[in-house]
Amino acid sequence: MDEKKKVFENRMRHALARQGYRLMKSRLRDECAIDFGRYYIVDPDRNSIVARGNFRMMIEDVDRWVNAPRGAR
């Protein structure tokens, strides 16, 4: 992972932590897997996935979710 993408990912992690969520990345290493390199937004209190974008949530989608008004999520 290049440095710019890692910095952006960390910024998203911190933004979500401030809102009470946690960012998780798929742990699959098979590039053919449907959710390889994808992200999930998790509510740590309920231990449930809040947003996963139908297994297609890229870091840019996480950015849009973080910056969307609460009612539009």
| Residue closest to 57 by CA, chosen among 66, 47, 48 | 66
pLDDT at 30: 80
d(CA 66, CA 56): 16
Higher pLDDT, 40 or 51: 40
* In the chain, domain spans: 3-72
pLDDT at 16: 95
What number is the average pLDDT over the span 8-33?
A: 90
- Could you tell me the pTM of the whole model? 0.79
pLDDT at 45: 94
| Residue closest to 8 by CA, chosen among 23, 18, 19 | 23
pLDDT at 35: 74
- For residue 49, what is the enclosing H or E element? strand 48-51
Is the model's pLDDT at 7 over the cut of 90? yes
